[in-house]
Structure 1
């Protein structure tokens, strides 16, 4: 772990994630303080034991074992992960760092969104999103006048899978709008 001054324009990736379990909550009664204190896994960083939440532990495990893809590409880069980089037990430090989060997300090389571990609905949801992206980016100027280009029919399970993906806690976070806009 290393400390960097944002004025020095360090190269880093910011990780956007939820502290709690990524799946939709059974109830919305769990407070932020309860989630922050719900650290059940430990990692070793610079020889120190650091407690982290299960969701962050899953991200770090996925990062460490990635053999291809985006996570493999960033394995040796600087990552800003608030749960690790900010001492959550010191209110003074937390209060000093929170105002910097906007700058952190806007100056990051890239913001990596961790939606949680893959499940059986992840692939169909991503396939549907890929289809939607392809449809949107198609050049419709070549469609003859009087004809319409229709969206390819997706199977209902794909829409259900997308609904499941979008119901994850990540999309319910208050900070997500700020992180997406600044990223």
Structure 2
């Protein structure tokens, strides 16, 4: 009686059924089953609810698989994702050295778009990593390795050779022809 109105009148005013208002859950909370399921899930991280259900049945628990799943979900248990195997090179990789000034490190990659009639085109972008200046934007319908080489050679004649060049491992950069300047850094 917090508001000074009876339960019957409050339920009638809100349209809420009195039987729903007075309902008390009668189901057994099954605390022991929940605790055992959590223990099994903690011990066997890669097991889902189906395998845990089999383990519970082997231990003598008379439990339906649907109940096992409901408790498994209610407790927030789930299969933990596998951690990826790290490559050996990743372990020994060191951080990138600091960039001291302009024209030391360039980064290059491709951007793609489509023309008004649906034909695709790509733009080779070369950026100075220190100044964030776009050194070259070369558009073409498609790029071959020798065309990337030509664009870089023209840029080297204009700006000078950088100490290193950062690229991804795309097909345009992976060929033997695509290493015109003997630059050291990749990736």
Please indicate, yes or no, whether the TM-score normalized by the shorter chain is above 0.5: no
Structure 1 length as normaliser, TM-score?
0.22
TM norm structure 2 = 0.21
RCO higher in structure (CA 8 A, sep ≥6): 1
Higher Cα radius of gyration: 2
